[in-house]
Structure 1
Amino acid sequence: MFIVGLTGGIATGKSTVAQVFVEHGIPVIDADVMARKVVEPGRKAWHKIKAVFGSEVFHPDGTLNREALGEVIFENVEKRRQLNEITHPEIHKEMFWAAVKCLFQGHQFIVLDLPLLFEAGTMIDYLHKIIVVTCEEDLQLQRLMERGQMSEARAKRRIAAQMPLEDKCRRAHFVVDNSGSERDTREEVVRIINTLRASRAHWRLRLLLILGATAGVAGAALAAWWWWFAAGSAHRGGRSAGRPGVLEPLRR
């Protein structure tokens, strides 16, 4: 099994792309879902957030007030860095074990939905391919304002807090332009799925699992860890250091 990273800008339509993968039987592990899980009351990240940001970013019942915290971190780069340092390691742990479960289920590949893939940088080396969802700048702003019921100034600040879309596209293997109709986007994603399904990269990585399984439970667990790092090695070997170009772009 190999791993595909899915990312893009806020309000570019990444959820639509993820849904197409799900409809084709491909597991999608969503970092946002994991992010909500790791900040549940009593969890490690929950305690750290309370210590760093105080009780004002929590509801009276102890649950995290995501809107209040969002206002704090989008106005302060240092606070955003602190939050990422608290939550990202916990999110990645949850995603790792979800990915291992998919590995043992025999999937050819899975998709990790990572909104801050490039901003965080920690997961890039473990991805065999990267998909970036983009759209026209004015359309992105309009979608965000309508979706979040926010002012233009506030929406622009949210967009500016992320890496520019053109920079993300330059580092992608596939680029999905979601500026047109949903039908066009879906057709584009299906073409990407067909390309990924034609890959034979999963056989070399699956061999590690088979060899580990013959050694029993401990061997299978070790093989899962080796698979995680081998997936990253396969990705690193496919690019020149410092030159993250677009290897297999699919653009309209």
Structure 2
Amino acid sequence: MRLGVTGGIGSGKSTFAAMLHRCGAALVDADQLARATTESGGSAIDAIREQFGEGFINASGAMDRDRMRALAFSEPQARERLQAIIHPLVGLAIVQAQQQAEAAGHRVVALDIPLLTESPRWPRQLDAVLVVDCREETQIERVRLRSGLDEAAVRAIMATQSSRATRRAAADWVVFNEGLGLPELLAVARQISASLGL
């Protein structure tokens, strides 16, 4: 079973996906795979250099994340150009990771996909979708504490993501991660894992 796990920034989706992994699901992290493509020697570096120029590659040969983030949020077309480079590479890496998990005998593959509801391709490739949800104010507070970004920067990121309503409408399960400690969240992960036969 291919289970897509998604949620807005700061929702706790990666924490929950890791808990599903602890319960026996294979875990494929789309963000991690995307980062690998833009690290030194990554498969996206040559195309990024060609599209955006040498100034977007840092001294170590990786993509300059801060500079690219600033450009992507100020120019939506730049973000689309970057996504056109990275998304096909990540898609291929996800398929390979799924195949490895299935070959290893995993019954459930949890795919941690931040922009699941933003892309029309995912519904065709998943058997079910789990959305980790929380209030927008909670998202902002968590990201500020975690990343040191100010509220305006967090809201700018949130504006590029699907709305809470859009994500919830796509969900087979919604985990409302509001006021839950890690033990309570793990208990929910165990319940869902058990329902999936893990």
Q: Which TM-score band (shorter chain)?
A: over 0.9
Distance between the aligned counterparts of 1:122 and 1:45, measured in 2? 20
Q: What's the CA shift for 1:102?
A: 1.1
* Unmatched tracts of structure 2, length 5 or more: none
Q: Report the counterpart of residue 36 of structure 1 in structure 2.
A: 35
Report the 3-state secondary structure (helix = DSSP H, G, I; strand = E; otherwise coil) of the residue aligned with 2:124.
helix
Contact 1:12 1:135 in 2 (8 A): yes
Aligned length: 197
Q: Which structure carries more relative contact order (alpha carbon 8 Å, separation 6+)?
A: 2
Does residue 95 (structure 1) correspond to residue 94 (structure 2)? The answer is: yes
Partner AA of 1:40 in structure 2: E
Cα deviation code 1:146-196 (max 9, x no counterpart): 212111111111111111112101110001111122233222222211111
- Could you tell me whether the CA contact under 8 Å between 1:176 and 1:189 is conserved in 2? no
Q: How do 1:227-246 and structure 2 match up within 5 A?
A: none
Aligned to 1:153: 152
Please identify the structure whose Cα radius of gyration is greater. 1
Match of 2:58 in 1: 59
Report the Cα distance in structure 1 between the residues aligned to 2:154 and 2:193, rounded to whole angstroms: 32
Counterpart secondary structure, 2:121: coil
Q: Hey, which bits of structure 1, 4+ residues long, moved more than 3 A?
A: 40-44
TM-score using structure 2 length: 0.93
SS in structure 2 opposite 1:115? coil
Task: Determine if contact 2:132/2:174 at 8 Å carries over to the other structure.
Answer: yes
2:41·2:61 contact (CA, 8 Å) conserved in 1? no
Counterpart in the other structure of 1:193: 193
Distance across 2 between alignment mates of 1:44 and 1:17: 29
Q: CA deviation at 1:43?
A: 4.0
Write the mapping of 1:161-240 to structure 2, written as runs, cut at 5 A: 161-182=160-181, 183-197=183-197
CA distance in 2, matches of 1:155, 1:106: 39
Note the C-alpha offset of 1:42.
4.1
Moved more, 130-139 or 17-26: 17-26
Deviation at 1:33, TM superposition (A): 1.2
C-alpha distance after superposition, 1:89-118 (max 9, x if no partner):
100111111111111111111111110111
Distance 1:52 1:84 in 2: 12
1:215 aligns with none
Q: What TM-score, normalized to structure 1?
A: 0.74
Which one is further off, 155-164 or 53-62? 53-62
Question: What is the percentage of aligned positions where both structures have the same residue?
Answer: 29
